[in-house]
Amino acid sequence: MKFTEEHEWLRPEGDLVVVGITEHAAQQLGDVVFVELPELETQVAKGDEVSVIESVKAASDILAPCDGEIVAVNDALVDSPALVNEDPLGEAWFFKMRIDDMSVLDALMTEDEYKDFIA
């Protein structure tokens, strides 16, 4: 699993990448009450605002971590936004992407590097 400075995690799954937010991000947001997912089969560029999380405190954007196509979204989050607080690294994945160049993952942080980043 790799991590971004925007507090997202990326997990390779075959030729796809699963994307979610980190436990640290979920804690900072507080109780999540609304999730808006990206549209399926859209091409996105790194840094695009593709998804929105609303917590009891505020709205936050989720950015596309790299260039690629959204090929799956986790509809369970729409009905149960609290999953983001309960299991951010597992059940509360946001979307899956087919990315143009898997080697971009190499440049992202490892778990240890991310822990140092948020320390």
Q: Which residues bind another protein (CB under 8 A)?
A: 28, 30-31, 33-34, 36, 52, 54, 56-59, 78, 81
Q: How far is the CB of 23 from another protein (least distance, A)?
A: 15
Sign of CA dihedral 62, 82, 116, 19: negative
Element (H, E) at 43: strand 43-44
When the beta carbons of 12 and 30 are compared against another protein, the nearer one is 30
**Amino acid (1-letter code) at residue 75:** D
Q: How far is the CB of 58 from another protein (least distance, A)?
A: 8
Report the chain's terminal Cα–Cα distance, integer Å: 19
**Residue closer to another protein (CB basis): 52 or 102:** 52
Minimum distance from CB of 97 to another protein (Å)? 21
Burial class from Cβ neighbours inside 10 Å (0-12, 13-18, 19+) for residue 68 reads buried
Closer by beta carbon to another protein, 34 or else 90 = 34
